[in-house]
Chain A
Amino acid sequence: MRLRAKNGISYPVGDALALVRQHGGLTKVPKGAKVPYKRVEAGGFCDDLPEESIALLLQRGDIEIVDEAPKAAPKTRKGA
């Protein structure tokens, strides 16, 4: 299963996410600290969304869960 954006969203990843979590939210990060945000447009996948944001964004309809498992290969007749 994958997460897909239905609306444009922005979120931190990696070191930026660690910094935001350390301070309990972006508005609490000391001014002057650069916190790069990743942007995903509607229709794009966002599998690396912070876990704490997934339920809220699903509830708001900003993201959706999609089944992107690969389809089974079509059957072919041998010896034809």
Chain B
Amino acid sequence: MAGKFGGGSVWFLVDGYDVLTAKAKQLALKVTSKTEATAGLGDTWDAHTPIGRSMVTLTQGGAYFDTTATTGLHAGFSGSVPSSAQASTRVICVGFGGNTIGAPFFGMEGAFSSEYEVLAEQDGLTKANVGYSITGQRDQGAIVQELEAKTSDWNTKTGGEQLDSSTVPQRVYAITSNSQANPTVVTCASPHGLTTGDAVLISGVSGSSPDINGEQTVTVIDTTTFSVAVNTSAGTGGTGGSFVKITTQNGAVGYQQVTAFSGFSGFIGKIQDSADDVSYADLVTFADVTSGPDAERVEVSGQVDRYLSFDGNVTGTGSITVLAGLCRL
């Protein structure tokens, strides 16, 4: 059944460590809107007003406290609670919808493992819990390279696994109508969040002549309306429908997690994009990896096209296990 996932679809990588190898029992990712109490004298009910800032918290509980596993929880996090103002952040990626190309995932701009708790219980194995303080935003995107082992250069294009952003699980924006005009003006049921130059894939609009369904580049008018280069002045406006974003102008964030690395002297991963689904150009280039576990977050600006792929280039002989994803901003 689409849209429903169980524990088997969860994956959780921190700085290249696959935390689930330590058999974590629980993972909670929460976004909270910070508010200020705004009730005053004479009010009989509480009042809270958002201040425009959100906070992300991430907790992971019940993993086994294994001091021998080199890729487990304890190897990565023992002694990791930062005690210095100069402490560096961790790169976290987590997904609840499976580890496949196109599946959604969340990345964190910066995270500190602020709590590391070891629990010893009678009649039970010793377990470890970790709490993370997230600094900055939570990025939301799609996997472009699923976590798997490779032994030579590869790219997801040759393997037929490039990604069409229109198929990525994302918010679907409802359209109320489009006008009889040149160019036609599309009115949305809620703020569309678009930037002029973005491309959208419209579907389900009925009655518009000419038809506006399909890929369209938008010109923003205000927060709930935009125009597309279709002349309906001699025809009719339409009603209903929806759109998803497929090309955006505000840059993106690429994430790469390397959970295993042996033999190679180097590895460079790149995320590419394409507007025509024929030729692809480098969009995100990650730093040369020479050992694992490893993780990196790279932010890029400008236009991000509809079609995405991943290139992996190794030096020497060996094996590498890597995951990569892209989040549009």
Residues of A at under 8 Å CB distance from B? 7-12, 17, 20-21, 25-37, 39, 49-50, 52-53, 56-57, 60, 62
Contact = CB atoms under 8 A, between A and B. Distances in A.
Contacts, number: 80
Contact of B158 (A27, A34, A62): A34
A64 B39 CA distance: 61
Given A26-B278, A27-B164, A50-B278, A10 B155 contact: yes
B278 A39 contact: no
A65 to B, nearest CB: 16
A17 B272 CA distance: 18
6 contacts: A7-B282, A8-B281, A11-B278, A25-B278, A31-B160, A52-B278
A53 B162 contact: no
B275 A26 contact: no
A69 B47 CA distance: 74
Contacts of B303: 60
Residue of B157, B279, B285, B307 with most chain A CB atoms under a 10 A cut-off: B279
Nearest to B160: A31
Interface residues of B, number: 25
A20 B307 contact: no
A57 B281 contact: yes
Given A50-B278, A52-B276, A10 B160 contact: no
A9 B157 contact: no
The 7 tightest CB contacts between A and B, nearest first, are A25-B277, A53-B279, A8-B282, A11-B279, A62-B281, A31-B160, A27-B164
A57 to B, nearest CB: 6
Given A10-B272, A52-B276, A56-B275, A37 B281 contact: no
Contacts of A33: 160
Given A10-B272, A27-B164, A60-B303, A37 B278 contact: no
Given A10-B155, A35-B160, A36-B158, A27 B307 contact: yes
B245 interface: no
A37 B270 contact: no
Interface in B80-95: none
